[in-house]
Structure 1
Amino acid sequence: MAIESPQSFVTYSASEQAAWQNGFRKNLGQENGWAAFGSTTAKGTIFLASGSDNGSWYVAIDHPGVVAELPFPKACVTHPGIAAYSAAHMSELYPVLTRIYELSVSLPDGPLEEFQAATDGLPEKTEAERLVKQRIGQDIFRNRLISYWQGRCPISDISDTELLRASHIKPWKDCETDAERLDVHNGILLSALWDAAFDKGLVTFKDDGTPEFSSKLSAPAMSSLSGHSKRISGLTAGHKENLIWHRDQVFNP
């Protein structure tokens, strides 16, 4: 596919608006018809271009973690970065850009870097001081899980933010490093009831995302959980590794 190069004023304006509205607000110039944009909060660079003959649009990215998890087919076009994606119209490209941003702020170490910046110089000699630092980390972890899971519990489809919990698969206290504590692959955004059951080992998840229930659940609890659930899709190798730990160390069959 041929790329419009250089971009016209109209094309560049549309590229800039799309990038801005999806969190990439740093203009990084243009080369070979691809306009580059960065972000102060998200990792990596996005590149936007328009087809010269059919009005289609393209986005290319250079973030390997995002490429690994972005659920869209790749485009066959010469591009910067490591992968490109296409849409027939700009409006169809917006969901791709939104998901790129959501993943870019979470992978692989965005939460850790934010935590380190927020806690740099904070004392942690006393238990109270350590708890302050932990709360900061848990708030960051929650915000990034909300982005990663697109603000919705993948089991119940509940999207009321007040009812969602940032559930660590391997609890904060059992993690050996801050990187492990703040890794979004060590968390699932669960509604309150699912979070409580998961935390207490009354439910876990198989590698394919299917819930596994404990025999210790009461009949009403089992009915509430099993009657409003589905399989989690899109679990990564990181999620699965942490779920092995959860099944071995937390789950009560």
Structure 2
Amino acid sequence: MNPLERILIEKAGREHGFENVLPDQDDAVLLGSARHRVQVKIIADNSVWLLKLPVGLLTHELERSFPRIECNQGQFIAPSIDLLTQLLSRAAALAQSLPNQAEIDYESEVQKTLAKLPPNGTEIECMVRQRIGQSTFRKAMMDYWGQACSVTGIDVPEVLRASHAKPWAECGNDAERLDVYNGFLLAANLDALFDRFLISFDDSGEILISMRLTEEHRLSLGLHQKLGLRWLAAEHLPYLQYHRRLFFEGCHIRGCPDYP
């Protein structure tokens, strides 16, 4: 690797979520960050860039995000520096959102906040945990979904909501509450409907709309059967099945026998 290639890699890392250059014995650049635990190794090879990551959930998500980039056992082949920066940026966003980085960030922030407060008992701690948890979950969802609605692709942060599939109060632990796969980033109208189990999604990501919503309601809300999730990972499915059960129960309770 020549000095110019090394400079380009280090600059790309600093600008796209990997600001730390770490010691490495190979002819490569090893990048890390204080904001997450993921490290990437980059090698310049005959005018292409090889980006290596540990094989796991993050690499699977990167493969889905970049289906046209060749990947083999966690090694992505980027034919240009522009594609390399895109890979780095997406890898950094995923590293800060995928389990269990959000849980680690959450617990650290909770402890720092509680340390600044007088000992006020369990109720105050619960309020602190819920407030920080919701903020942490939203950030993780924004990172995972690329700052855009998981259905419509709308990228206006002010109208986006981090919506749980398995409600916060029903989760058994913080890992579930903060799991980026436990919900979707939705525009405000879709979030309100999803939160009240008036819409859900099937295992292929296609929308399910409650029979309680008339054609007039659907038209006013912009709902139609062609809506669906932009993508759906296998890790979403257990949470989505939980949500769908409550969706169908709500339909039955309100006299909608057409639903299973």
Residue 112 (str. 1) matches residue 108 (str. 2): no
The one-letter code sitting in structure 2 at the alignment partner of 1:244 is Q
Measured at CA, do residues 227 and 85 of structure 1 come closer, stay the same or move farther in structure 2, by a change above 3 Å? same
Tell me what 2:30 maps to: 36
Q: 1:87 aligns with which of 75, 78, 82?
A: 78
Measured at CA, do residues 132 and 142 of structure 1 come closer, stay the same or move farther in structure 2, by a change above 3 Å? same
Greater CA deviation, 102-111 or 123-132?
A: 123-132
Percent identity, aligned pairs only? Answer: 31
Tell me what 1:155 maps to: 151
CA offsets 1:66-86 (integer angstroms, 9 cap, x no match): 01211234445xxxxx51111
1:128 CA drift (Å):
4.2
Residue 238 (str. 1) matches residue 235 (str. 2): yes
Residue 20 (str. 1) matches residue 14 (str. 2): yes
Return the alpha-carbon distance in structure 2 between the equivalents of residues 42 and 229 of structure 1. 37
Asked if 1 retains the 8 angstrom alpha-carbon contact of 2:201 and 2:208, the reply is yes
Return the alpha-carbon distance in structure 2 between the equivalents of residues 63 and 166 of structure 1. 28
SS of the residue corresponding to residue 209 of structure 1 reads coil
Q: 1:68 aligns with which of 57, 60, 72?
A: 60
1:152 CA drift (Å):
0.5
RMSD of aligned Cα (Å): 1.9
Return the alpha-carbon distance in structure 1 between the equivalents of residues 168 and 91 of structure 2. 27
SS of the residue corresponding to residue 230 of structure 1 reads coil
Tell me what 1:56 maps to: 48
Greater CA deviation, 114-123 or 143-152?
A: 114-123
Q: 2:132 aligns with which of 114, 120, 136?
A: 136
SS of the residue corresponding to residue 31 of structure 1 reads coil
The one-letter code sitting in structure 2 at the alignment partner of 1:38 is G
Ranges in structure 1 where 5+ consecutive residues have no aligned partner: 1-6, 77-81
Return the alpha-carbon distance in structure 2 between the equivalents of residues 158 and 11 of structure 1. 37
1:92 CA drift (Å):
2.0
Tell me what 1:79 maps to: none
Asked if 2 retains the 8 angstrom alpha-carbon contact of 1:63 and 1:104, the reply is no
The one-letter code sitting in structure 2 at the alignment partner of 1:105 is Q
Asked if 1 retains the 8 angstrom alpha-carbon contact of 2:144 and 2:180, the reply is yes
SS of the residue corresponding to residue 117 of structure 1 reads helix
Residue 168 (str. 1) matches residue 169 (str. 2): no
Return the alpha-carbon distance in structure 2 between the equivalents of residues 180 and 199 of structure 1. 17
Instruction: Tell me which stretches of 4 or more aligned residues in structure 1 moved more than 6 Å.
Output: none
Tell me what 1:182 maps to: 178
1:227 CA drift (Å):
4.3
The one-letter code sitting in structure 2 at the alignment partner of 1:164 is L
CA offsets 1:129-165 (integer angstroms, 9 cap, x no match): 4122201110011011000000111212211101000
Return the alpha-carbon distance in structure 2 between the equivalents of residues 160 and 243 of structure 1. 25
